[in-house]
Structure 1
Amino acid sequence: MTTATLERPEVRDNQLEHVDIKVIDTDVHVEPRSFEELIPYLEAPWRDVPNLIASVPFSRPTYRTLEGGGRKDAYPKVGDIGSDPDMVGQQMFVDDPTDYAILLPWSFRGFTVDPRLDTALASAVNAWLADTWLSKYNAENRYVGSISIGIDDPMAAAKEIDKWGEHPGFRQVVIGHYGPRPFGHPIYDPIWEAAARHNLPIAMHFRGGATQPLGWTSTGPLQYFVEYHSLIAPMAYGAHLASWICNGVFDRHPEMKVLFIEGGFLWYQPFIDRLERHWKRTGQELGLKKTPHQYVRDHIRFATQPIEENTDPHKIATLYEEANARELVMFSSDYPHYDYDPPSKALPRSLDAEMKTRIMYENARVIYDLPKTRPVDRFDLAGGAR
């Protein structure tokens, strides 16, 4: 298996021109052409199970997304959306150009009822991603990988992180929002310990599970797609955020970073304000080192899409300033889904230039340890001068 590196090539005789990094997209979904493409990467005995594809007990979403969930212009003639490297490269790096795309494979959509199978599927996705989008399709080193894990078996998940943690193409661990307990619970410590060993941030992206459909809340399921799309991620992310804080996970792993993807970010401010309001009295039993606001500042980041907007440009700029978007927010497009946000139009115009710079690339560049410049490549030449 070949591997790719994100280190910049050596410049010799000034023949290699470089450009400054201006856009890093933290939420790009890619797919195998079909489930059959993953089968060679499955380990035995799963690879040899008859009728595996038909028998895999994947979760089924309760809600149907608009336009089938994808951009109409992002479906290739052959294969699933997000599976054609030529189409993805053109749309990501030429049409409305991004410098680096952080990949979150969408093929491992949720959990089955078997933690062993979850681990096998996650392992196959990681091997497939390393062999394709981080190698064969990555001559320009524009793609950055995420390690998929099965959350229901923390020890096996930790081993999977150790397996890929030093691969130069993988720069984070990706998890879903669903689990039998909030993620600060001690049963999950092996996962956070493994990520900390390799200095990898944790990215959370919502997805359903075999025993919990998308849109399930503590009071039962939501009825409509608009409810689910607007509410489910902030509700779940808030529960996990409180659990990570109150269980002292960030004290045990002081360098740990968590990125909440595709859930907005303005919701966190009143949530943390409420937690902090009661902190001095009710938080005494926890014996923690910081306040909730300090934990968010030091350990949490948010992705923009779906970004909160407001018709009053001055009001939205004030809200972003109050929520410390300058330090906490990173750009994401959610490519290739129907609600894709193009880099050129994603942020409210009323934000100041320094905040836009931090959101569009600088915050992510620091989190993922990416370079400040990159070599000019075929995508730049195809799109002309920036």
Structure 2
Amino acid sequence: MYRGPIFDVDVHHSWKSPEDLIQYLPRYWQDHLSGGSGPALSINPSIRRLPMVDGKWRLGTTPEDGSPPGTDYEKMKRQLLEPFSVERALLNYDVGLQSGVPNPQLSAALCRAANQFTVDHWLTKDDRLCGMILVPTAVPEDAVAEIEHWANQPRMVGALLVVNVLGKPFGHPVYDPIYRAASENGLPVAIHLSGAPECRDIAGGNPATMLEQYPLYIQPGVHNLTSMITSGLFEKFPTLRMMLLEWGFSWIPAIAQRLDSSFDILRSESPLVRRLPSEVIREHVRFSSQPFEFVPAADLASILGAFDGFEDLLCFSSDYPHWDADEPTYIASRIPRSWHRKVFYENATRFFGFEPKPEVSALATSGQGA
């Protein structure tokens, strides 16, 4: 069992009611969302949620006051931060669909409000908590403005992209202003699965059930990573760091091999594709561990062994408090012991620009050291 420090790269926090967020909006948008003489308007895009037995939350995570899971710091501390020695937890909203509201001006205002809410109501409570800058994606220049606004807030440690509003994969040059701003400010970028059928996550059309949709969550990860590599994104921005959140990871060796095998034949299509895709992935991209793959440990080790050095790319994520959240004890039982400190702590710590603490041996912590 792993007993060292943990950096959890995907924890979902939120507000207890829409009014908690709306109060951060300019008066114009507050009045707009009030709905006038009709019902109040939603702060989320109009999306179709597939029904799930027991809902999308892990059982037992609802706060005592009945508010939604992920809205109560004390509950999060008791269930996640304290039991598992979490040194840092990355807060990624739930999951930031405000960035996909169709009205781009409202979306930009909601992202600014969500970021300010995070700083005021979460980062002030615990030094272990870090925030991500939720950016609107419909107008990349608005995303740049949001990054610039928060770049000097040391506890906002990266830019978060969620909803693919423009219908283009995230390696498309239309998003270059976002990556340029992040690179110039020394901030990594994370892209999180939206989980909404209307957000163009799944190719071929909208799934009919969660049984159909859940296994297909890898699709946008495959497409977005391929888009970034084949567009030469990391050649244009050589200091850019990218993390893919909640898209799984067992597919990475296969797509890296396919990209490498196509390199010599097809790279003439882009003068920016100069290195083997697998080399670019190793240098620039990291992947969250959740949802952890439902395959036998021996089979998983064989799959990941096809990509040399994968233990340097995987970062622990709990996905608390969602229904399929993974506890550290479970992940520790599924990966080689030699991977533990890297996956649970060092990879994410270095990725987000922190310095890992020296490793303390079990002998020293037991008081039996020399």
Matched, 1:242 2:226: yes
Measure the CA separation in 2 of the matches of 1:316 and 1:347: 14
Q: How much does 1:246 deviate?
A: 1.6
Residues 1:46 and 2:35 are matched in the alignment: no
2-side partners of 1:29 and 1:216: how far apart? 20
Partner in structure 2 of residue 122 of structure 1: 111
Rounded Cα–Cα distance in structure 1 between residues aligned with 2:150 and 2:238: 22
Relative distance call for 1:114 and 1:215 in structure 2 (3 A) is closer
Runs of 4+ in 1 over 6 A off after TM superposition: none
Query: How far apart in 2 are the matches of 1:73 and 1:226?
Result: 23
Shift of 1:28: 0.2
- Shift of the alpha carbon at 1:68? 1.3
When residues 87 and 113 of structure 1 are mapped into structure 2, their CA distance, relative to the original with a 3 A threshold, is same
Give the alignment of 1:269-308 within 5 angstroms: 269-287=253-271, 288-308=273-293
Higher normalized contact order (CA 8 Å, seq sep 6+, divided by chain length): 1
Within-5 A mapping of 1:56-95: 56=42, 58-78=45-65, 79-95=67-83
Please point out which of 175, 179, 182 is paired with 1:195.
182
Structure 1 residues without counterparts, runs of 5 or longer: 1-19, 375-384
Amino acid paired to 1:104: N
3-state secondary structure, aligned to 1:259:
strand
- Counterpart of 2:363 in structure 1 is none
In 2: Cα distance, 1:113 partner to 1:308 partner: 34
Q: Cα distance, 1:347 vs. partner? A: 3.4
Q: Which digits, 9 at most, give the CA deviation of each residue in 1:144-177, with x for residues without a partner?
A: 1100011111001100000001101111111115
For 2:361, the equivalent position in structure 1 comes to none
Is 2:170 the counterpart of 1:183? yes
Structure 1 pair 171/157, CA: closer, same or farther in 2 (3 Å)?
Answer: same
Residue of structure 1 equivalent to 2:235? 251
Counterpart residue number, 1:163:
149
> 2:5 is matched by which residue type in structure 1?
K
Instruction: Find out whether 1:150 has 2:107 as its counterpart.
Output: no
Distance 1:248 1:107, change over 3 A: closer
Q: Deviations over 1:53-72 (max 9, x none)?
A: 82236232341234211122
Structure 1 residue 118: Cα displacement: 0.9
Matched to 1:124, the amino acid is A
SS of residue in 1 equivalent to 2:9 = strand
More off after superposition, 365-374 vs 293-302: 365-374
Shift, 1:107, TM fit:
6.2
* SS of the residue 2:60 aligns to: helix
Q: Paired residue for 2:364?
A: none
The verdict on how the C-alpha distance between 1:208 and 1:334 changes in structure 2, with shifts beyond 3 A counting, is closer
Looking at structure 1, the residues matched to 231 and 336 of structure 2 have their Cα atoms a distance apart, in angstroms, of 37
Instruction: Give the Cα separation in 1 of the matches to 2:149 and 2:53.
Output: 37
Cα gap change, 1:274 to 1:372, in 2 (>3 Å): closer
Q: Could you tell me how far apart the structure 2 residues matched to 1:36 and 1:106 are?
A: 16
TM-score by length of 1: 0.84
Go from structure 1 to structure 2 and tell me whether the alpha carbon gap of 1:66 and 1:367 turns closer, same or farther (over 3 Å shift).
Answer: farther
Residue deviations 1:230-256 (CA, integer Å, cap 9, x gap): 113x11121111111122110011111
CA shift, 1:216, in A, is 5.6
1:16 maps to which residue?
none
1:29 equivalent to 2:29? Answer no
Q: Is the 8 A contact 1:32 1:107 kept in 2?
A: no
Matches of 1:86 and 1:41 in 2, distance apart?
23
Check 1:107–1:222 CA distance in 2 against 1; reply closer, same or farther (3 A cut). Answer: closer
State the 1:50 CA deviation: 5.3
User: CA separation in 1, counterparts of 2:53 and 2:200?
Assistant: 16
Residue identity in the other structure for 1:190? P
| 1:199 Cα deviation from its structure 2 partner | 1.3
- 1:44–1:21 Cα change, 3 Å: farther
- CA contact 1:66–1:338 (8 Å) conserved in 2: no
Code of the residue aligned with 1:163 in structure 2: it is: H
Give 2:362's aligned residue: none
From 372, 378, 382, give the equivalent of 2:356. Answer: 372
Question: 2:163 & 2:243 partners in 1: Cα distance?
Answer: 12
Q: CA deviation at 1:215?
A: 7.2
Assess if the C-alpha contact under 8 Å between 1:325 and 1:355 holds in 2: no
Q: RMSD in angstroms over aligned alpha carbons?
A: 2.2
Q: 1:186 to 1:46 in 2, by over 3 A?
A: same
